[in-house]
Structure 1
Amino acid sequence: MTAAYFTGLALGLALIVPIGAQNVFVFGQGVTLGMPRALWAVVGAGLCDTLLIVLGAAGTSVLLDSVPGLRPAMLVAGALFLTYLGVKSLRTKPADFDDLTGTWSRGQVLRQTAAVSLLNPHAILDTVGVLGAAITAQAAATRLPFAIGAVTASWTWFLILAAAAHGMRRFLTKERRVWFDRVSGVILLVFAAWLAVEFVQTFV
């Protein structure tokens, strides 16, 4: 069972660590306002990944291929939302950080994190599809520790991202944070364009 746990942990990290919209968003929350805002982004991302992994283990991955139009709809929704976040980040100004200090809410961070997590087809395919299939392929006695390992990977990685981002804040002036936000915006727009291209290719 210990081996199954660490196998799930390793596979989870392999899928979650590579840069993606979810990672960029969580890291950005930590750089922008630090803790506790970044922790709420961790909670949102961790809960969404946990839900998707559980759904994958329950066999929901079959729906991704069996429901007509589901994948194109996910691609459009993800592209639009990432475009919104990307443009918003590109328009950041130093004064915006003063305005944000007293206006953010836990609900706002959780909603935005959930949208980034659940409107991202690649994240869903990784968690529901790949991890779900890997869990169901395990022997019955090792499925639970394998799944717990995958969930642990998600939460651990997002905590590391948030802590690293929070630690960077002491070296970043408002002007430097503006440029970080703009770079994040460009990355999010690249992911949006990627989803848009995949949407077009579904009809080719």
Structure 2
Amino acid sequence: MTVLLSGFALGLALILPIGAQNVFVINQAIAVGVPRVFVAVVAAGVCDTILILAGAFGASTLLETIPGLRPVLLVGGSVFLVFLAVQSFRARESELQDVGSPVSSVGAVATKTATVSLLNPHAILDTVGVLGAAIAAQAAAERPLFALGTVSASWVWFCVLAVAGAAVRHALTPGRRVWVERVSGMILLAFAVFLFSEFLTAVR
């Protein structure tokens, strides 16, 4: 049980800070509510699970041995976050009138969630590099429990975000939702600038 909780605590510590993935899940919860938001929750959880297990089975070593991989991830992620930020800034009140209507098909939401998850350099570096390496460092008998703990943290946190977002969705008028989109855009843009600054540091 201690090993399981240790993995859960480490996973939670890495996923708690707000990032592109968390912002996307919250926005989906506000847009479509429960149960439809769980399409995004499942997609994000599956992506994190794949990345964590990939790191545990050797991908973390790959990140360390290919020096040019990190800069590519950083600049690619920066460009993608700018794209998401622009979409948020362009949201109009008229497009957000009916809070009860689905904004996208199940496939479109799952695809976009996977894209946000898998093209996010910090998510990759944290889940593959940190969590994967931490799992690999455990004693062989303890690895399954530790891995279960880290994976569980992602799923629990995404569920919390989904329920919290859905709880406030009916209190948000279209005008307020526009401001939520603006704030989301600013957060995404800030992360894009941060990633690009890390890219510049990495290539010096």
Match of 2:149 in 1: 149
Query: Which consecutive aligned stretches of 4+ in structure 1 deviate over 4 angstroms post-superposition?
Result: none
Q: CA deviation at 1:200?
A: 1.6
Any idea what the Cα deviations from partners look like across 1:36-65, whole Å, max 9, x if unmatched? 332111111100100011001101101112
Q: Is the 8 A contact 1:61 1:129 kept in 2?
A: yes
Any idea what the Cα deviations from partners look like across 1:71-123, whole Å, max 9, x if unmatched? 12111221111111101101111111248935511111111111111111111
Helix, strand or coil for the counterpart of 2:58? coil
Q: CA deviation at 1:35?
A: 2.6
Gap runs ≥5 in structure 1: none
The equivalences for 1:94-133 within 5 A come to 94-98=93-97, 101-102=101-102, 104-133=104-133
Letter in 1 for 2:68: G
Find the aligned partners of 1:16 and 1:103 in 2 and give their Cα distance: 26
Q: Is the 8 A contact 2:39 2:110 kept in 1?
A: yes
Helix, strand or coil for the counterpart of 2:34? coil
Any idea what the Cα deviations from partners look like across 1:135-168, whole Å, max 9, x if unmatched? 1111111100110011110000000000000001
Find the aligned partners of 1:84 and 1:32 in 2 and give their Cα distance: 19
The equivalences for 1:83-98 within 5 A come to 83-98=82-97
Match of 2:66 in 1: 67
Name the TM-score, length of structure 2 as normaliser: 0.94
Find the aligned partners of 2:36 and 2:138 in 1 and give their Cα distance: 37
Name the TM-score, length of structure 1 as normaliser: 0.94
Match of 2:134 in 1: 134
Gap change, CA 1:89 and 1:145, over 3 Å in 2: same
The equivalences for 1:155-194 within 5 A come to 155-194=155-194
How many residues end up aligned between the 2 structures? 203
Gap runs ≥5 in structure 2: none
Find the aligned partners of 1:130 and 1:15 in 2 and give their Cα distance: 9
Letter in 1 for 2:42: V
Find the aligned partners of 1:173 and 1:127 in 2 and give their Cα distance: 36
Find the aligned partners of 1:151 and 1:73 in 2 and give their Cα distance: 26
Find the aligned partners of 2:18 and 2:33 in 1 and give their Cα distance: 20
Helix, strand or coil for the counterpart of 1:141? coil
Find the aligned partners of 1:125 and 1:68 in 2 and give their Cα distance: 13
Letter in 2 for 1:148: L
Q: Is the 8 A contact 2:31 2:102 kept in 1?
A: no
Q: Is the 8 A contact 2:97 2:174 kept in 1?
A: no
